[in-house]
Amino acid sequence: MAIKIGLTGGIGSGKSVVSHLLKTMGIPVYIADDESKRITSTDSLIKQQLINLLGQGVYINGVLNKNLLAAYIFSDAEHAKIVNEIIHPRVKEDFVKWVDKNSKYPVVAIESAILIEAGFTDEVDIVAMVYAPMDLRLQRLALRDSSSSKEQILKRIQSQMDDEKKKALADIIIVNDEQIPVIPQVVELVKSSQQ
């Protein structure tokens, strides 16, 4: 059975960068954002539940209306909870199957900003948090998500667990502050996961 690394960190912390490094080291990574979108677009029960909740407009010609779903989720913590309860159990099931398919690898990983909030901690052997200072995250997001307003970005940040709480629950912290080199920290993460 592969060792499972759970990679988390707030939006804009740099999880994708760390995932790319892990993949380069031959470690398969389950990108929860991508897989949850695939599942949300294909699972008929989820589709029906989202239509019941938000109306037919949540899919346009069968394609998930991301703006509508994002506006609903990030406007109210209770809304996020309702949608998460529809989507996350299916993502968890899918991840368990994916791990099984990748059992020949010594180490696999899952990347999710809300790994802890979504209850994936029990599915992994080690939780690694990517940390970056808030001002740097805001600068990065302003560049990466240039079509999102600062308010939209702040709402996503507010819907996620606070960094200090996340740090306390993580086994390893990878600092991605553009000062401390990231690659040696990722190498160390992989080494420690195998010990």
Ligand X SMILES: CC(C)(COP(=O)(O)OP(=O)(O)OC[C@H]1O[C@@H](n2cnc3c(N)ncnc32)[C@H](O)[C@@H]1O)[C@@H](O)C(=O)NCCC(=O)NCCS
| Ramachandran angles phi, psi of 107, nearest 5° | -135, 135
What CA–CA distances, in Å, run from 152 to 28, 70, 71, 164? 31, 9, 9, 22
- CB environment 110-127: b (16+ within 10 A), e (fewer): bbbbbbbbbebeeebebb
Please indicate if the annotation marks 75 as binding a ligand: no
16 is known to lie in a ligand binding site: yes
> The tokens of 8 are what?
């988390």
Maximum C-alpha span of the chain: 50
Query: Which contiguous run of DSSP H or E holds residue 5?
Result: strand 3-8
Stretch 125-184 residues interacting with ligand ATP (CB under 6 A): 140, 144, 176, 178, 182
Q: Which of residues 27-46 bind ligand ATP (CB under 6 A)?
A: 33
Question: Which of ligand X, ligand ATP, none is residue 13 near (CB under 5 to 8 Å by kind)?
Answer: ligand ATP
Which residues in the 88-117 window bind ligand X by CB under 6 A? 88, 91, 112-114
By C-beta, is 54 or 175 nearer to ligand ATP? Answer: 175
User: Which residues would be at the binding site for ligand X (CB under 6 A)?
Assistant: 11, 32-33, 36-37, 40, 66, 69-70, 73, 80, 83-84, 87-88, 91, 112-114, 118, 156, 159-160
User: Which residues would be at the binding site for ligand ATP (CB under 6 A)?
Assistant: 9, 11-17, 33, 113, 140, 144, 176, 178, 182
